[in-house]
């Protein structure tokens, strides 16, 4: 009887030791990888889609003749763009800021287009400028009512169409962007990029 | 059922099942990026755009600065002042016209005939502008600006005399355009919109009795007697009856309006 109790306790201890060993050797692994690497896990919108959209909109907008037309008409001055509403009309959570910021960065880096702070950003800037009028010395104070007016507003939207049957799913994303002349409402440039994904979910053991 | 019959039935069933089986998609030939591939970068596109745009913009800026320097050499003080302010004025040279609008020849479509030239925008959507408004057309005669047509929200305003270029003249032209719009709205029966146009015009033309008379008449038609009386009285006051004594042919129209205003004041005050 006593021998069987001792054997039972040893079995329990062995089991606990096995569980502990299993936990210590858990398969979780974290690696830093190149942000340009394509990593499709769930099939939903991801960083690669954002990058592809940004690349295509950058190419289309900078290759479009609107920059040249504006510069020619204004003695070489670069046009100024403000970012307006970029609407996500899909049911997915899509952070549009990633590719919109890429587009803004490309405009600024290229030197072909000037970008001014949009409605979401300028609140802080204006508050700081107003604060300076009270608290900064006259020689370092920034001037009020001297903002650079934009010529064009960048607007856009992203839409998605889904189709699925069994283990298969197709998702189609369409991103449309446009630059609208703030004075005349004329659309001077329209860009578009489409992504179609085919997702096949393989069941384990099948 | 015999065995061959069963075999045939099974074969038919299998055939039907195969026919109804969903066709699987094979995305293999059109796959663009797979897991593990590298997404392309836009850096080369941006660099190419910079290399392409920067020299063109620098060339245009250099041309604009050269035009400005040439325009400012030996110019009359008032023309120099206008160029510096960025306003096109009559009597400017073609170089000064470009300097005032901060443009180069690339912005203009220039048509010449003898000693005259017509400057219009090279592109419909990019009209050159000075500090006043977009410049739709400039007529140059013997090397000097003879007339300017501005594209304003109320229509095209032409400046062909020095008096037309003043701020007062601009206000008068805008007010007249608003009065014309108001008259059209009255004719269309939209009295509220017409009154809005007349009110805006009356700010630009504060002492115009005919405008006051129009406003009074509209208010009278809208059955707003108190405001109508005030406007009729203001109209009479502005006409300065004692001084004008409007009885001659030249004032026949005003005399009729004066008589009507007096009559309406009496009628409205009685109610």
pLDDT tens-digit series, residues A42-93: 899 999 999 999 999 999 999 888 999 999 899 999 999 999 999 999 999 9
> Greater confidence, B106 or B248?
B106
- A40–B41 CB contact, under 8 Å: no
pTM higher than the cut 0.90? no
Query: What's the DSSP call for residue A96?
Result: T
- B61–A102 CB contact, under 8 Å: no
Q: Over the stretch B180-198, which tens digit does the pLDDT of each residue have?
A: 999 999 999 999 999 999 9
Mean of the pLDDT values across residues B146-174? 85
- Mind giving me the DSSP string for chain B? --HHHHHHHHHHHHHHHHHHSPPPP--GGG----TTSB---SHHHHHHHHHHHHHHHHHHHHHHHHHHHHHHTT--HHHHHHHHHT---TT--HHHHHHHHT--GGGEEEEEETTEEEEEESSTT---B-SSSBEEEEEEETTEEEEEEEEETTEEEEE-SGGGGSHHHHHHHHHHHHHHHHHHHHHHT-HHHHHHHHHHHHHHSTT-HHHHHHHHHHHHHTT-HHHHHHHHHHHHHHHTHHHH---SGGGHHHHHHHHHHHHHHHHHHH-
In the predicted model, what is the mean pLDDT of chain B? 85
Q: Over the stretch B7-59, which tens digit does the pLDDT of each residue have?
A: 888 888 877 766 665 555 565 556 678 888 888 888 888 999 999 899 999 99
- Cα–chain center distance at B83: 23
DSSP bridge pairs for B147: B139
Mean of the pLDDT values across residues A94-113? 94
Q: What is the pLDDT of residue B157?
A: 87
Q: What is the pLDDT of residue A24?
A: 62
> Worst-scoring range by mean pLDDT, B10-14, B125-129, B209-213?
B10-14
| The pLDDT of residue B147 is above 90 | yes
What residue in B sits closest to A186 (Cα-Cα)?
Answer: B125
Q: Over the stretch A145-170, which tens digit does the pLDDT of each residue have?
A: 999 999 999 999 999 999 999 989 99
Domain ranges in chain A are 39-200
| Angle, CA of B251, B169 and B164, to the nearest 5° | 105
Q: Identify the H or E element spanning A191.
A: strand A187-200
> Greater confidence, A18 or B129?
B129
Instruction: Please tell me if residue B102 touches chain A, with a CB cutoff of 8 Å.
Output: yes
> Worst-scoring range by mean pLDDT, A70-79, B68-77, B229-238, B239-248?
B239-248
Cβ-based contacts of B103 with chain A (< 8 Å): 73-75
- A59–B38 CB contact, under 8 Å: no
| The pLDDT of residue B4 is above 90 | no
- A78–B37 CB contact, under 8 Å: no
Q: What is the pLDDT of residue A206?
A: 43
Question: What sign results for the dihedral spanned by CA atoms A116, B42, A68, A156?
Answer: negative
**Cα distance between residue A117 and residue A84, in whole Å:** 10
| The pLDDT of residue A205 is above 50 | no
Distance from CA of A97 to the nearest CA of B (A): 17
Cβ-based contacts of A69 with chain B (< 8 Å): 123, 125-126
DSSP-derived pairing of the beta strands B155-159 and B144-152: antiparallel
Give the sheet arrangement for strand A187-200, strand by strand.
A114-116, A80-88, A152-165, A168-181, A187-200
The CATH class that applies to domain A39-200 reads alpha beta
Q: Over the stretch B71-96, which tens digit does the pLDDT of each residue have?
A: 999 888 989 999 999 999 999 999 99
Distance from CA of B177 to the nearest CA of A (A): 20
- B37–A102 CB contact, under 8 Å: no
Q: What is the pLDDT of residue A185?
A: 94
What residue in B sits closest to A180 (Cα-Cα)?
Answer: B125
**A53, A57, A67, A63: which is closest to A188 by C-alpha?**
A67
Query: What's the DSSP call for residue A143?
Result: P
- B125–A54 CB contact, under 8 Å: no
Q: What is the pLDDT of residue B251?
A: 63
- A38–B34 CB contact, under 8 Å: yes
**Cα distance between residue B203 and residue B157, in whole Å:** 19
Nearest CB to A72 within list B34, B45, B107: B107
Distance from CA of B53 to the nearest CA of A (A): 6
Burial A81-112 (b: 16+ CB within 10 A, else e): bbbbebebebeeebebeebbebbbebbebbbb
| Angle, CA of B71, B74 and B75, to the nearest 5° | 60
- Return the number of other C-beta atoms located less than 10 Å from residue B16's C-beta: 10
Inter-chain contacts counted by CB atoms under 8 A, chains A and B: 128
Q: Over the stretch A172-199, which tens digit does the pLDDT of each residue have?
A: 999 999 999 999 999 999 999 999 999 9
């Amino acid at each position: 009887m006593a021998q069987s109790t001792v054997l039972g306790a040893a079995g329990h201890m062995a089991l606990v030791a096995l569980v502990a060993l299993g936990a210590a050797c858990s398969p979780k692994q974290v690696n830093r990888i190149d942000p340009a690497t394509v990593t499709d896990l769930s099939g939903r919108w991801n960083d690669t889609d954002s990058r592809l959209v940004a690349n295509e909109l950058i190419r289309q907008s900078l290759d479009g003749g609107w920059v040249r037309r504006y510069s020619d008409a204004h003695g070489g001055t670069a046009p100024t763009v403000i970012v307006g509403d970029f609407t996500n009309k899909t049911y997915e959570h899509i952070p549009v800021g990633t590719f919109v910021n890429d587009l803004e960065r490309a405009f600024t880096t290229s030197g072909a287009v000037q970008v001014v702070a949009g409605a979401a950003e300028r609140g802080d800037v204006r508050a700081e400028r107003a604060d300076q009028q009270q608290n900064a010395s006259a020689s370092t104070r920034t001037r009020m009512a001297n903002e650079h007016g934009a010529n064009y507003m960048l607007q856009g939207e992203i839409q998605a169409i889904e189709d699925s049957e069994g283990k298969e799913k197709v998702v189609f994303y369409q991103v449309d962007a446009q630059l609208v002349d703030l004075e005349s409402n004329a659309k001077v440039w329209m860009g578009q990029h489409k992504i179609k994904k085919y997702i096949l979910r393989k069941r384990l053991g099948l | 059922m015999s065995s061959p019959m069963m075999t045939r039935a099974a074969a038919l069933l299998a055939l039907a099942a195969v026919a109804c089986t969903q066709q699987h998609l094979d995305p293999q030939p059109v796959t663009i990026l797979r897991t593990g591939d590298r997404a392309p970068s836009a850096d080369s596109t941006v660099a190419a755009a910079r290399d392409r745009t920067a020299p063109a913009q620098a060339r245009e800026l250099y041309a604009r600065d050269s035009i400005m320097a040439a325009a400012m050499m030996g110019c009359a003080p008032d023309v120099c002042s206008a160029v510096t302010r960025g306003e096109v004025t009559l009597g400017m040279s073609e170089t000064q016209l470009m300097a005032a609008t901060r443009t180069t020849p690339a912005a203009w479509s220039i048509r010449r005939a003898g000693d005259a030239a017509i400057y219009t925008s090279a592109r419909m959507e990019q009209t050159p502008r000075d500090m006043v408004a977009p410049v739709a057309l400039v007529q140059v005669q013997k090397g000097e600006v003879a007339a300017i047509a501005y594209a304003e929200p109320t229509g095209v305003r032409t400046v062909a005399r020095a008096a037309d270029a003043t701020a007062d003249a601009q206000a008068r032209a805008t007010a007249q355009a608003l009065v014309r719009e108001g008259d059209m709205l009255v004719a269309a029966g939209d009295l509220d919109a017409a009154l809005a146009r007349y009110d805006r015009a009356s700010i630009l033309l504060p002492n115009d009795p005919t405008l006051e008379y129009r406003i009074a008449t509209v208010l009278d038609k809208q059955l707003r007697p108190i405001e109508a009386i005030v406007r009729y009285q203001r109209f009479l006051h502005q006409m300065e009856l004692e001084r004008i004594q409007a009885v001659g042919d030249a004032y026949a129209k005003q005399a009729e309006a004066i008589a009507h205003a007096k009559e309406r004041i009496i009628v409205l005050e009685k109610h």
